[in-house]
């Protein structure tokens, strides 16, 4: 395919072309020319209002449902939603039935996602059946294509097992994911423990249930070495622990969810089950600390924490609702409300190499892996903007800044039909 992108503002803070308006010629999946004006016969010419182009975006924690929960989301529509939302790389959680805890189960997911515009990287279960007792065949799953290993939103209670996992995975540079939650402290909680939980009459989850698990995991990592990723950081104490670990040169990375950057436990006053998340929304102070930690690099990645839940498990009393919110469709528009454009793009594209994902810069000779967007349009996010099968989104009714036109990747163009 020969593709010509016209009059696009390039956004790449590390490039001399940052915020320069250029034409981009793409041939057979590679960038062959970047100039002020290119006149070339092409299979398709892209010329859109206020068009901006950046390196393709990445999300480190997405759930779909297939296999086992296809009523929530399937792989095909999930990837289409990701492409429409600007993402060229996704790490897929083992939130399925059966779980992704074997070579064959990881291979199945990769085959289902083959040849799509958005590249899917499966996360394999760390333990067999996600039961936390015995390690799954980690190296076999690596050979099948697993990018990391963790039991989705289940903590590893056994410290000895965590030690063994980190030691064993070192031999093939595997990444161990540890969900930061001490269940003996959070048991039966449904939201953050504080004044709001008391006023609503809901059982709270204390901050210490997260930070005590983070502290334990970092102590084990310091002893064993290896690579550890802690997803969904939500508290100031956890941020300080990770900052200190990085000063000691531990191989630690972490993420924060979009919802935890923007929303807080005060937003739960109307018992909106779309805001019931795991981990829970914390205080406004925690949210402010998380934003600063993401900007200064203490926290490595932002994630949509995209988790489709069918209506039967959301339209119930708050105590009984399943936790989770979708977030791919509103990720860019919501982030653009709190960060400048250059920072937003940096956050969405940085440190891919740490996950063994190629960092394809916008330059002649590079693979064309691009996100196309308008950073300035404003609108109110409605259910009509949701492309996912499930509609459980915490950001319905929120103001958005910026819309995504689509992506170019794997020698394909995928356009968001809402905006193009």
Mean predicted confidence (pLDDT) in 340-360: 96
In the Cβ-directed half-sphere of 262, how many Cα atoms lie within 13 Å? 23
Domain region containing 184: 56-355
| 24 and 117 co-located in one domain | no
| 309 and 369 co-located in one domain | no
d(CA 137, CA 127): 8
Q: Return the residue matching tokens 């163009």.
A: 413
d(CA 299, CA 242): 8
In a domain, 262, yes or no: yes
pLDDT band (50, 70, 90) for residue 13:
confident
The predicted-structure confidence for 291-332, as pLDDT tens digits, reads as follows 999 999 999 999 999 999 999 999 999 999 999 999 999 999
In a domain, 31, yes or no: yes
Mark which of 315, 339, 355 sits at the end of a domain.
Answer: 355
pLDDT band (50, 70, 90) for residue 402:
very high
The predicted model scores a pTM of 0.96
Residues 260, 308: contact at Cβ < 8 Å?
no
| 243 and 224 co-located in one domain | yes
The predicted-structure confidence for 77-126, as pLDDT tens digits, reads as follows 999 999 999 999 999 999 999 999 999 999 999 999 999 999 999 999 99
The predicted-structure confidence for 227-278, as pLDDT tens digits, reads as follows 999 999 999 999 999 999 999 999 999 999 999 999 999 999 999 999 999 9
Mean predicted confidence (pLDDT) in 367-393: 97
Q: Measuring CA to CA, how many Å separate 349 from each of 25, 78, 234, 311?
A: 22, 20, 21, 32
Task: Specify the pLDDT at position 130.
Answer: 96
In a domain, 170, yes or no: yes
pLDDT band (50, 70, 90) for residue 420:
confident
Output the CA torsion sign for 123, 101, 174, 324: positive
d(CA 143, CA 153): 24
The β-bridge partners of 2 are: 27
Domain count of the fold of the chain: 2
In a domain, 420, yes or no: no
| 368 and 344 co-located in one domain | no
In a domain, 299, yes or no: yes
Residue 291: in which H helix or E strand, if any? Answer: helix 284-296
| 157 and 21 co-located in one domain | no
Long-range Cβ pairs for the range 26-30 (8 Å, 24+) = 26/1, 26/2, 26/368, 26/408, 27/1, 27/2, 27/3, 28/1, 28/2, 28/411, 29/1, 29/367, 29/368, 29/410, 29/411, 30/365, 30/366, 30/367, 30/368
Q: In terms of DSSP bridges, do strands 44-46 and 119-124 run parallel, antiparallel, or are they unpaired? A: unpaired
| 124 and 222 co-located in one domain | yes
| 400 and 290 co-located in one domain | no
In a domain, 400, yes or no: yes
Asked if the bond preceding 391 is cis, omega within 30° of 0, the reply is no
| 186 and 307 co-located in one domain | yes
Mark which of 308, 328, 355 sits at the end of a domain.
Answer: 355
DSSP string, 36-56: S------SEEE--TT-EEEEP
Query: Which tokens in the block code for residue 224?
Result: 């064993």
| 410 and 338 co-located in one domain | no
| 93 and 116 co-located in one domain | yes
In a domain, 96, yes or no: yes
| 187 and 46 co-located in one domain | no
Give the chain's mean pLDDT. Answer: 97
CB-count exposure of residue 10 (10 Å: 0-12, 13-18, 19+)? buried
| 113 and 211 co-located in one domain | yes
Does pLDDT of 14 surpass 90? no
Q: Could you tell me which residues come within 8 angstroms of residue 156 by beta carbon, excluding any fewer than 6 positions away?
A: 126, 127, 132, 162, 165, 178, 179
For residue 208, give the CATH number of its domain. 3.20.20.140
In a domain, 231, yes or no: yes
Mark which of 355, 379, 397 sits at the end of a domain.
Answer: 355
For residue 368, give the CATH number of its domain. 2.30.40.10
Residues 87, 118: contact at Cβ < 8 Å?
yes
């Amino acid at each position: 395919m020969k593709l010509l992108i016209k009059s696009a503002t390039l956004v790449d803070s590390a490039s001399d072309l940052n915020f320069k308006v250029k034409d981009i010629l793409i041939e057979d999946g590679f960038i062959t020319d970047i100039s002020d004006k290119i006149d070339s016969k092409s299979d398709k010419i892209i010329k859109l209002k206020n068009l901006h182009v950046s390196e393709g975006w990445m999300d480190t924690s997405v759930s779909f449902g297939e296999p086992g929960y296809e009523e929530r989301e399937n792989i095909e529509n999930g990837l289409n939603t990701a492409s429409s939302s600007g993402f060229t790389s996704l790490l897929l959680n083992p939130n399925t039935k059966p779980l992704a805890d074997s070579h064959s189960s990881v291979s199945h997911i990769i085959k289902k996602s083959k040849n799509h515009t958005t590249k899917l990287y499966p996360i394999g279960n760390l333990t067999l059946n996600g039961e936390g007792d015995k390690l799954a065949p980690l190296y076999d799953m690596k050979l099948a294509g697993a990018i990391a290993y963790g039991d989705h939103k289940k903590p590893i209670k056994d410290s000895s097992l965590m030690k063994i996992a980190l030691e064993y995975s070192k031999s093939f540079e595997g990444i161990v994911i540890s969900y930061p939650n001490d269940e003996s402290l959070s048991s039966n909680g449904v939201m953050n423990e504080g004044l709001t939980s008391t006023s609503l009459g809901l059982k709270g989850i204390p901050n210490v249930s997260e930070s005590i698990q983070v502290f334990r995991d970092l102590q084990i990592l310091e002893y064993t070495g290896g690579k550890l990723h802690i997803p969904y950081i939500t508290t100031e104490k956890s941020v300080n622990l990770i900052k200190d670990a990085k000063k000691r040169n531990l191989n630690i990375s972490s993420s924060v969810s979009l919802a935890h950057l923007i929303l807080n436990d005060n937003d739960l006053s109307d018992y909106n089950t779309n805001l019931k998340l795991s981990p829970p929304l914390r205080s406004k102070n925690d949210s402010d600390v998380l934003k600063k930690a993401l900007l200064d690099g203490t926290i490595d990645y932002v994630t949509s924490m995209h988790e489709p839940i069918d209506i039967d498990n959301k339209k119930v009393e708050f105590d009984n609702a399943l936790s989770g919110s979708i977030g791919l469709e509103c990720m860019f528009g919501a982030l653009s409300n709190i960060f400048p454009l250059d920072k937003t793009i940096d956050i969405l594209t940085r440190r891919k190499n740490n996950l063994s994902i190629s960092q394809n810069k916008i330059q002649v000779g590079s693979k064309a892996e691009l996100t196309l967007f308008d950073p300035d349009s404003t609108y109110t996010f409605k259910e009509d903007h949701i492309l996912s099968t499930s509609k459980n989104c915490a950001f319905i009714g929120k103001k958005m800044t910026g819309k995504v036109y689509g992506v170019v990747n794997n020698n394909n163009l995928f356009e968001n039909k809402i905006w193009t």
